[in-house]
Structure 1
Amino acid sequence: MTDPVAAHRHPPDVAFDGGDLDCGNGLLLLIRRHIDPLPRGGLLEIRSTEISVDEDLPAWCRLTGNELVSWTREKKQRSFLVCKGRLAERAPEAPAPRVMPAAAAAPAPARVPVEAPAIPPLAVMGIGSWPRPRWMIEAMHAYVEGRLSEQAFQETADDAVRLAIAAQEKAGVDVVTDGEQRRDSYASFVASRLDNCQLIPLTDLLPLVDHPEEFEAELRALDIPAGDVRHPAVFGRLARTRPLVAHEVDFARSATARPVKVALPGPYLLTRTMWMECVSDRAYDSREALAEDIVRVLRAELAELMDAGAALVQFDEPVLSEVVFSGAKSKRSFMCGALSESLAPAHELAFARDLLNAVLDGAPRHRTAVHVCRGNWTPDERVALAGSYAPLVDMLAKVRVGAYLLEMCTPRAGEMEILKTLPDDARIGVGVVNQKDPQIEDVAAVAARIQHAIALFGRERVLLHPDCGFATFADNPICCTPAAQDKLAAIAAAARQFA
């Protein structure tokens, strides 16, 4: 790092005092909170009394492509001036940008409830995500980094949603999703829609892990692009002043005449993902207190989705598999939030059950679902978790939900017969193709799986889908669009044999 100067030559646009925090104890998260809203060329002043920042901050700047413009030191007090991007990107004639605190959004006008179409027996549907076109991924990064306006991003996403829905319709599905085209992943996107929550690149979180070198190596082994994938960080009390996904349903319904399903991260998943003691505990005393606000947010969202005409609202809770299947593993799986707290399995399952029931309470049961799988971040079946539903089925049976959409095609999921103990008045969604397998399933093999499900649960209760989504993470899709379409088409062709 260059020598300190007597004073910065450029005035900062935003400044904050990090006190004695070091980069491994939350300082990087506070930096990200203040620098992300700045335009390219914006200047952030960071005040600190922690000596280790002298070395760690320049390294972070090099890693993230930001420029350390200058720094000052007077006794213990240090001041670092960081430019978002390069200083050369700052227009000298332009007035210094001002970053204003977000104003509370005006209350949205009351919706006129839309009647949702019924979902027939043996309905074919995707789980949620669909591969994004390269231009959609580029727009997503540009939007998050402040290089693309909200309007331009939404218009780009509209085009991507139209393509995703058209592909599903061509495949012959009965229920469509918008392909989660506006999301960076199936869960973390929520941070970009909630107040006092923000998406942070995984590279910023490495200092918070007990063994960052091991965690970084694990991400590489799982093909996780740590510089592109972002993680939610909570900086204050969560508030919902705009929809999380209701706007997705609004647009999807305008683009199709078929029933629309939408997926939301479940309350247990969000609690596990968002609770990081070094950050979250500044706003919440415990993860249980955080969970109360997450439940409140999801209940409000669910009510709006019902009014918006969503035929099925699915809550994703793949982290339940980590609770019961990862005990023998030396490392946690990426999907479950390696930075979060987890207690004994019995405690975690009861906690998850109570959170789900609190969200679902009072909602039309037949329009709700829960999805469980064993990880969908890599096509390598050897890496994902494995185990039957035996340790989960009792807990799932106590969740007051209308449908269970479950991974079943992969041998890692165990025997379908175990699901017989789920409530008789709930529908059973059966994964009949494996999105991780590049080969397109034979229609006869898919039909055999459907026949087995009908024999176990009865035709009226069965729903059909892949084991999981086709592109859980925008930057790391499991398969390509043609394969995704062909796999859904195989399910639809097999389902027609039982019409």
Structure 2
Amino acid sequence: MANQTLFPTSVIGSMPRPDFVKALISDTCTLSQAERDRLMGNAIYASVALQETAGVDVVSDGEWWRKSYIGVIAELAHGFEVSTNPQDGRPWTIVVDKLSPRQPGFIANEVAFLKKLTGRDIKATLPAPALLGERMWDPERSSKAYPDRDDFVRDCVPILRREVELLRDEGVSIVQVDDPHLCLFVDSNIRAAYDDADRAADFAVDMNNQVFAGIDGVKKAVHLCRRAGARARGEADHRGTFDPIMGQLCRLEVDHLTMEFVTPGSGEMSVFEQLPEHIEVGLGCVSCHPGTIDSVDTIVERVEQALKYLQPERITLNPDCGFAPGSAATVSLDEVYTKLCNEVEAARRLREKYG
């Protein structure tokens, strides 16, 4: 990072969307696109102000421009049908045709706008290729274009890779690939559902590496979570230590890994000893679960557990996951502000003690 601060603080990416922000990105919004963009820009200004007031070192735009956090792929490529999932009413993006570039630079434009609002380090996020395959390939509706799910995943790689190049050129500090799919392989029940769980996890790693291959001049990160935030929507609670996927994590050709450790059942932080020494760890040390506010002392204790296995220079403080677990979740911005303030105060104490 530009400032080389010890124990830098960060968000994962998403911030809670107030109802008026959800209204602005809704298909039912009757405002002109120009008026939507103006109002959304004002909203993002407030999101950044919240993060800066809390004192966060690495900020995001909260991913508020996006109708769907991972559905942003449909802005980058033709070939998708965007509709509403009949089961839960959330945005549903399904691949129905061969992919082709649509508007490269959509995410880079998010960063270009954000740079006008802040002088702090900026993080931009992209969905992982294998995650897109898991969520956006349907055996019936996608099979005409892609009979094999993996072929769809492979075709996502050049689309995402081009965006990484444009983000690098835009001057973003960190490009983060979000890959909760890879982290699901910590769960024995998930592993049992695959004929070869290790092969599937290896494929996810290979696709991430191809997205980043040969790109220099930007910090490359992968975010791993077992969908901690999904519990805010009452969804499955995936548990398991990181041990089953440590072989895969060591093969990721990245500079930075964010890993959940607030979630019960995450296992021992001793797994950090297995990671290559050049990899920084974005330590999940702040709960993103609504209604749970970790004290400063608790956050410090979690980081000090990690310090048994990592040098201070390799640790970034961040929440376990994004603060907005899906487009339908309701999360308090004021509560998130308190959590970020506690994260920043914990970092201050750690710098004082270990700097």
What TM-score, normalized by structure 2, do the two folds share? 0.92
Name the amino acid aligned to 2:99: L
1:118–1:289 Cα change, 3 Å: farther
Cα distance in 2 for partners of 1:306, 1:290 equals 25
- In 2, the alpha carbon distance for the partners of 1:451 and 1:353 equals 29
The answer as to 2:310 corresponding to 1:457 is yes
Determine which of 266, 269, 272 is the counterpart of 2:134: 272
In the alignment, is the contact (CA less than 8 A) between 2:8 and 2:58 conserved in 1? yes
Distance 1:266 1:365 in 2: 20
5+ residue gaps, structure 2: none
2:60 counterpart of 1:166: no
Q: What are the within-5 Å matches in structure 2 for residues 59-458 of structure 1?
A: 117=2, 120-141=5-26, 144-145=27-28, 147-203=30-86, 216=87, 226-227=88-89, 229-242=90-103, 243-325=105-187, 327=189, 343-364=195-216, 367-375=219-227, 376-379=229-232, 383-458=236-311
Quick check: 2:168–2:217 contact (8 Å CA) kept in 1?
Answer: no
2:169 partner SS = helix
The alpha-carbon distance between structure 1 residues 234 and 383, as it changes in their structure 2 partners (threshold 3 A), is: closer
Bigger Rg, structure 1 or 2: 1
The answer as to whether partners of 2:230 and 2:326 remain within 8 angstroms in 1 is yes
Q: Which residue of 1 aligns with 2:342?
A: 490
Compute the displacement of 1:240 (Å): 2.3
Local SS of the residue matching 1:268 = helix
Q: Counterpart of 2:167 in structure 1: which amino acid?
A: L
Q: Distance in 1 between matches of 2:113 and 2:7?
A: 26
Native 8 Å contact 1:314 1:369 kept in 2:
yes
Letter in 1 for 2:11: G
Give me the whole-angstrom Cα distance separating, in 1, the residues matched to 2:164 and 2:82. 23
- Output the CA distance in 2 between the equivalents of 1:329 and 1:200: 30
Equivalent-residue separation in structure 2 for 1:279 and 1:231 (angstroms): 13
* Structure 2 counterpart of 1:480: 332
Cα 1:324/1:441, change in 2 over 3 Å: closer
For these two proteins, the number of residue pairs brought into alignment is 349
Deviation of the 1:148 alpha carbon: 3.9
Percent same amino acid at aligned positions? Answer: 30
Native 8 Å contact 2:186 2:241 kept in 1:
no
Say which SS state the counterpart of residue 246 (structure 2) adopts.
helix
Compared CA separation, residues 150 and 382, structure 1 to 2 (3 A)? closer
SS of residue in 2 equivalent to 1:128? coil
Contact (CA 8 Å) 1:137, 1:475: kept in 2 or not?
A: no
2:332 and 2:29 map into 1 onto residues whose CA distance is 28
TM-aligned CA deviation for residue 192 of structure 1: 3.9
Structure 1 residue 237 displacement after superposition: 1.8
Alignment deviations for residues 395-433 of structure 1 (CA, whole Å, 9 cap, x no partner)? 011010110011112223222112220111110110111
Tell me the alpha carbon deviations over residues 140-196 of structure 1, each in whole angstroms, 9 at most, x when there is no partner. 11xx35744332222222112111100000111011000011123321232244212
| 1:346-384 alpha-carbon deviations (Å, 9 max, x no partner) | 121111111011111012286010011111223378941
2:324 equivalent to 1:471 = yes
Give the AA of the match of 2:57.
Answer: D
Length-normalised TM-score, structure 1 = 0.66
In the aligned structure 2, how far is the partner of 1:257 from the partner of 1:489?
Answer: 19
Contact 2:173 2:218 in 1 (8 A): no
Gaps of 5+ in 1: 1-115, 204-215, 217-225, 333-341
**CA shift at 1:470, angstroms?**
0.8
Shift of 1:439: 3.1
Please tell me whether the aligned partners of residues 189 and 199 of structure 1 are also in contact (alpha carbons under 8 angstroms).
no
Distance 1:262 1:460 in 2: 22
Asked if structure 2 preserves the Cα contact closer than 8 Å seen for 1:193 and 1:244, the reply is yes
4+ runs deviating over 6 angstroms: none
Task: Determine the C-alpha separation between the residues in 2 that align with 1:365 and 1:324.
Answer: 32
Change (3 A) 1:382 1:186: closer
Give how far 1:316 is off.
Answer: 0.6
Are the structure 2 counterparts of residues 201 and 117 from structure 1 closer, same or farther at C-alpha, using a change threshold of 3 Å?
same
Greater CA deviation, 377-386 or 437-446? 377-386
Structure with greater contact order relative to length (CA < 8 Å, sep ≥ 6) = 2
